[in-house]
Amino acid sequence: MEMDMDTDTDMMENAPSVISPLLLRSLASSAFIFADKSFFNLAEKFKPLEIVRYLLISSFLFFLRLLSFLFAPDLPPKSQPRFSTFSTLKSNDRLAVTSGVEDSGIARALSQVLSIVNDIPVGSRKYAIVRSLAERLIEENRREDSHGLREVNRAVLCSAFSRTLCYLEAAMVELGRDRVGSGPAPVQYLVKRVLKAVGSVGDGVWGREGSGNGNGNGNGREDVNRSGNSAEKLAAELLWLAEKMVACGFGEEAVERWASASNLASLSLLAEPRLQGSLVKVSAFLFKQAREMELSAEDTREGNEASQRQTKMKMLMSWLPLLCRASNGTDAPVLDIGERLELEKVLEETVKSLEHKEQEQVLSLWLHHFAYCPSSDWPNLHASYSCWCTDSRRLLIHH
């Protein structure tokens, strides 16, 4: 009991340090996107400004990576991002086949199949076959109702989800670099040199956490830039894996990993609309699952309340900006009217379950992105904002 109380206290003490970088990263991303649109128009008229613009974009991509590293020591152990480095990615791959009951043939087989799903291009005729095989293995393990096979599914699916998150983050960084280097030839040459320097520094920063796990050649980016790893394909596979984890009873692990993927969330604000739409679908699914798990925990009086609140905060602070900016899609809305209304209600209930100061941070972030995004008027959390204002007046009067 004393250990649990100490853990709760540590988490509460660490909460501000977790939230601060998330808020800083979200606001910085929003400001950068707004500024880049204006700067792009100027660059069209004055060509020399293109060099400055590309340098700013490359610096911003490096800033996103560096920010996560700088604040990593402040995160509580449970919330350490296990999928934001290439070295820890390899550790996750080994988890499914080296721990306890997971050290078995069926665990190794399922781990291999899921890894191949990541590698094969979605257009290949083998992709559907391998993915179907993975689904069959997962379902057969689940139907056996065996504790050992349940742990096999848990370890392998969690490892696959973390691995896919890492691949997706790397793919999005590469997409950003490709976009930056698509200018005129002189600009490309200069930018490529800057990006090479930025990349080497960034990889060195990430290597501090797990230098003993790699192969020592500094090719971490090559490890995740495999054939068929288009960002949109990986995002679709994340949704598929999340659905499998929920079906097997491991939804909490998927929610926690998605909530902690703050660097990926920041990169998503600069992504192409189709990719943003895929990420919105993942976010919508896991927001709903997080709310359902919270209600289930309330009914059974189980779960760590402080830990659940921290996960909700990270989830909202990381992915609410994307919901505000990317819900319209390219040809049609990413979510239909019913799905939007359902998720809007989930968001309102989630915000309401937070403490007063936490609500202020979330609603302030929502208002910023909601107001400055001209192409979308969803999610509309005006009722939650008004309710918070009413509570704030009441608190002031009582004090």
- Written as one string, the DSSP assignment of 312-333 is HHHHHHHHHHHHHHSSS-SSS-
Could you give the CA distance from residue 282 to residue 267 in angstroms, rounded to a whole number?
A: 15
Tokens standing for 193? 């040199």
Q: How many domains does the chain have?
A: 1
Res 174: pLDDT: 84
DSSP class of 102: G
The answer to whether residue 2 sits within a structural domain is no
Q: How far is CA 128 from the centre of its chain?
A: 26
Tally of CA atoms within 13 A in the half-sphere of 329 that contains its CB:
10
Could you give the CA distance from residue 19 to residue 314 in angstroms, rounded to a whole number?
A: 7
The answer to whether residue 244 sits within a structural domain is yes
Could you give the CA distance from residue 189 to residue 309 in angstroms, rounded to a whole number?
A: 47
Q: How far is CA 277 from the centre of its chain?
A: 14
**252 lies in which domain range?**
13-398
Q: Are 22 and 262 in contact (CB under 8 A)?
A: yes
The answer to whether residue 8 sits within a structural domain is no
Q: Are 184 and 50 in contact (CB under 8 A)?
A: yes
Could you give the CA distance from residue 120 to residue 127 in angstroms, rounded to a whole number?
A: 6
The answer to whether residue 122 sits within a structural domain is yes
Could you give the CA distance from residue 110 to residue 101 in angstroms, rounded to a whole number?
A: 14
The answer to whether residue 7 sits within a structural domain is no
The answer to whether residue 6 sits within a structural domain is no
Return the ∠ at Cα 314 (arms to 309 and 320), rounded to 5°: 115
Q: Give the Cβ contact number of residue 137 at 10 Å.
A: 18
Q: Give the Cβ contact number of residue 65 at 10 Å.
A: 22
The answer to whether residue 373 sits within a structural domain is yes
Segment-wise mean pLDDT, segments of 10 residues, the chain, 399 residues: 44 45 57 56 59 65 59 39 40 44 82 94 93 96 92 95 95 76 48 48 38 39 46 96 96 95 92 92 96 80 78 95 80 84 95 94 94 85 95 90
The answer to whether residue 3 sits within a structural domain is no
Alpha helices in the chain (DSSP H): 2-45, 49-71, 86-98, 105-119, 125-143, 147-180, 185-207, 220-224, 231-247, 251-259, 262-268, 273-300, 305-325, 337-352, 356-372, 382-398
Q: Which residue has the tokens 């927001």?
A: 287
- Specify the amino acid at residue 16: P
Could you give the CA distance from residue 297 to residue 305 in angstroms, rounded to a whole number?
A: 9
Cut 0.75: pTM above it: no
- Residue 186 class from Cβ within 10 Å (0-12 exposed, 13-18 middle, 19+ buried)? exposed
Res 25: pLDDT: 59
Could you give the CA distance from residue 292 to residue 175 in angstroms, rounded to a whole number?
A: 35
Q: Give the Cβ contact number of residue 265 at 10 Å.
A: 26
